[in-house]
Structure 1
Amino acid sequence: MAWNEPGGNSNNQDPWGGGNKKGGGRQGPPDLDEALRKLQDKLNSIFGGKKKPGGQGSGGGVAIVLIALVVLVGFWLSTAVYKVDEQERAVILRLGKYHETVGPGLNIYFPPIEQKFQHNVTRERAYTRQGPMLTEDENIIEVPLTVQYKISNLEDFVLNVDGPEISLQQATESALRHVVGSTSMDQVLTEGREVLAVDVRERLQRFIDMYRTGIVVTGVNVQNAQAPKEVQEAFDDVIRAREDEQREKNDAETYANGVVPEARGLAQRILEEANGYREEVIARAEGESERFTKLVTEYHKAPEVTRKRLYLDTMEEMYSRSSKVLLTGDKGQNSLLYLPLDKMLQQGQSAPAARISNEPVDSSTLNTPASNDAISRSLRSRGSR
């Protein structure tokens, strides 16, 4: 039977455990107001408050206020006390005006009267951008660029520009477009990238110095610039053709550097040989002329002896350059033995024996006026040479 059915004992079946007690009162669920009053009584007893009639203490409101103040002070201290690392600096603004720049250490400021801006001033930051650019010769290329920078003046970084890093990105875009627009496509794609990076860095630094952003650019890296994807194959062909052209030029220069000095050396050697031959001919002619003059003088003094001496010298010189051998016979014989040694040497093993020919020679013709005239003509011809 339910506790609230008619005829039932509702007092005994109360689910809250309520029943008839002395005084006729019944017990119900805990009252929230009563719980709050008990909490206030405990707080009043802690802070020395007195109870008011009806069970409320006179210092209950004061205790709540004090607790709130303690919480607020703790929260304020947690935000007001701050630490600055060795790599950081902090700028303090008092009533919106610059007050000081704080170095490393434990510090305190007073919000909301003061404001704090704390940043790392030694860490190197990077910004990367990539986009189509128009070159001087009206070609479109993709130029990926990375800018490395850091904070050089925290006061300027915080106060002078609203969003200094955004200003840096916009200045980078302007500087890059200006430099690429003043450079041909060949230079940007090949050997001009280093010069391009230097020019962009200088122009970018001038821009941000003019804006007083408090940023210093530490490096600009231009990566491999390339043409748009739609025409990449054609650009690759052009680059390969340019490389082939440069290789052919290098080969030609190498060949020229090897041939030209050799030709110059050969020409100089020919000139030196010609000069030496000229000097030799002149000296020989002068010597022969002087010798002939002295020989004529001696010939007038002793014609017979001089003539015989000239004959012997001529024969000795002639036979010294000949491979033939002439053997004279005994006294009273007018025959000479001729040994063709040159033929014998040429035949080698094919000729088992040398042929020896006997050619009669009249020795009386060696000392005739005709022979003397022949000797004189020979001497004059030698002198003329």
Structure 2
Amino acid sequence: MAWNEPGNKDKDPWNNNKGGKNQGPPDLDDLLKDLGNKFGGIFGGKPSGGGSGKSFSSLGISLVLIIAVLVYAFSGFYTIKEAEKGLVLRFGQYAGVVEPGLRWKWTFIDRIIPVDMQTTRDLPSAGFMLTQDENVVRVEMQIQYRVVDPRAYIFSVTNADDSLSQSLDSALRYVIGHSKMDDVLTSGREIVRQAVWTELENIIKPYNLGLIIVDVNFKDARPPEEVKDSFDDAIAAQEDEIRYLREAEAYARGIEPRARGRVKRIEQEAIAYKEQTVLDAEGEVARFEKMLPEYQAAPEVTRKRLYLATMEKVYSNTSKVMVDVDGGNNMIYLPLDKIMQQQPNYQNVIPQTSPSTSNTGQPTRAASSSSRADRFDNGRD
């Protein structure tokens, strides 16, 4: 049986019109009243039988409180990037450091300051500066640095980057002021760079900026534009001087070994000549000592043998012409000049090997044979 049929009025689902004839939907005020009583019971209150305005106010306050709690909870979530670290300030006072990742904080109580720890930052410095020798030069330098201590970076000074910039300018001017212009422009650039690096670290050390210097780059150094051409000529002359010195050193390194080699070769040749002369002399002495007994035993035979051996040696190196004159007394004309031209060594051999002729027309003994015989005679005596 349906609830709205006659005789079944007690089963009305709206339960708000038990004695009347109206079977429509419940009144909105009554519905709000019931909801207010239910929420009041949830939060520890008692159901009220008052008016509908009071019930609606307590429901609105409850909803606002729930929404406010949810918003506050979700507003506390934040993220620290992988390359960063976060400084936590609780009521303005340092409370610690948080690592990268998803974090939660007390909104309106904690404040998070993210600090990049991995990025390498650049800081330039440039300007006209006075050198030790009272010359003006424009120098450009750039440093690279990273943050290593986020707390010192944020709280040690008002602005760590600005303090580092002023320290770099001070260190650069100090080093340039104690250097000569030629060193800054040419050969001393690396020395200046290292000196600026060391001086900068010494300056920022007492301030504890929480920074580390990664590198110092010496970008450029040049004189003022008004005197740039003159300085270019001076630098070119210095480069030529260095080049000539290098060429001279290379030439000296090339000449010295050759000279030492020649000296060594001459020494070796002198030693060889000395040994050869000594050995030749010893050989002559040994040969003389062996032939002396033979000469003492048969002087005439030995002298003749020596003479024949000498003549054989002499005539073996000369050109010879044989003429048979036994056939008659006629004068025979021979083209001796043509014959001698066919012997290329004749001019060099004849003066040394041609035997001398005595007044009788007979050839005499060779000088070497006579000298040897004389030596044998002296030895015999």
TM exceeds 0.5? yes
> Pick from 222, 225, 243: which aligns with 2:218?
222
State how far apart, in whole Å, the 1-side matches of 2:374 and 2:358 are. 26
Change (3 A) 1:372 1:269: closer
Cα deviation, residue 68, structure 1: 8.8
State how far apart, in whole Å, the 1-side matches of 2:323 and 2:121 are. 112
Q: Secondary structure at the match of 2:206?
A: helix
Change (3 A) 1:61 1:177: farther
Matches within 5 A, 1:19-168: 80-168=76-164
Number of equivalent positions: 315
Q: Does 1:375 align with 2:369?
A: yes
Q: Secondary structure at the match of 1:286?
A: helix
User: 1:343 corresponds to which residue?
Assistant: 341
Q: Secondary structure at the match of 1:318?
A: helix
State how far apart, in whole Å, the 2-side matches of 1:172 and 1:243 are. 31
Q: Secondary structure at the match of 1:196?
A: helix
Contact map agreement 2:310 2:366 (CA 8 A) in 1: no
Cα deviation, residue 168, structure 1: 0.8
State how far apart, in whole Å, the 2-side matches of 1:318 and 1:372 are. 9
Contact map agreement 1:124 1:150 (CA 8 A) in 2: yes
Q: Does 1:241 align with 2:241?
A: no
Contact map agreement 1:143 1:226 (CA 8 A) in 2: yes
State how far apart, in whole Å, the 2-side matches of 1:86 and 1:259 are. 65
**Which stretch has the larger CA shift, 278-287 or 132-141?**
132-141
Contact map agreement 1:132 1:141 (CA 8 A) in 2: yes
Cα deviation, residue 101, structure 1: 0.4
Change (3 A) 1:360 1:269: closer
State how far apart, in whole Å, the 1-side matches of 2:147 and 2:285 are. 97
Contact map agreement 1:135 1:181 (CA 8 A) in 2: yes
Cα deviation, residue 254, structure 1: 2.4
Deviations 1:84-114 (A, max 9, x none): 0111100112244321100111222235433
Q: Secondary structure at the match of 2:221?
A: coil
Q: Does 1:210 align with 2:206?
A: yes
Q: Secondary structure at the match of 1:144?
A: strand
Cα deviation, residue 62, structure 1: 8.7
Cα deviation, residue 178, structure 1: 2.5
Q: Secondary structure at the match of 1:285?
A: helix
Contact map agreement 2:131 2:178 (CA 8 A) in 1: yes
Matches within 5 A, 1:325-336: 325-327=320-322
Q: Secondary structure at the match of 1:223?
A: strand
Q: Secondary structure at the match of 1:91?
A: strand
Structure 1: segments with no counterpart, 5+ residues: 1-43, 49-56, 348-358
State how far apart, in whole Å, the 2-side matches of 1:332 and 1:360 are. 24
Cα deviation, residue 151, structure 1: 0.7
Cα deviation, residue 199, structure 1: 2.8
User: 2:318 corresponds to which residue?
Assistant: 323
Matches within 5 A, 1:173-184: 173-184=169-180
Cα deviation, residue 293, structure 1: 2.7
Change (3 A) 1:345 1:314: closer
AA aligned opposite 2:370: S
Contact map agreement 1:327 1:338 (CA 8 A) in 2: no
Change (3 A) 1:163 1:71: farther
User: 1:23 corresponds to which residue?
Assistant: none
Change (3 A) 1:207 1:338: same
User: 1:36 corresponds to which residue?
Assistant: none
Q: Secondary structure at the match of 2:123?
A: strand
Change (3 A) 1:276 1:199: same
Cα deviation, residue 283, structure 1: 1.6
Q: Does 1:301 align with 2:290?
A: no
AA aligned opposite 1:344: Q
User: 1:35 corresponds to which residue?
Assistant: none
> Pick from 231, 255, 279: which aligns with 1:259?
255
Cα deviation, residue 72, structure 1: 7.6
AA aligned opposite 1:376: S
> With structure 2 as the length reference, what TM-score do the two structures score?
0.69
Cα deviation, residue 145, structure 1: 0.8
Q: Does 1:311 align with 2:307?
A: yes
> With structure 1 as the length reference, what TM-score do the two structures score?
0.68
Contact map agreement 1:93 1:99 (CA 8 A) in 2: yes
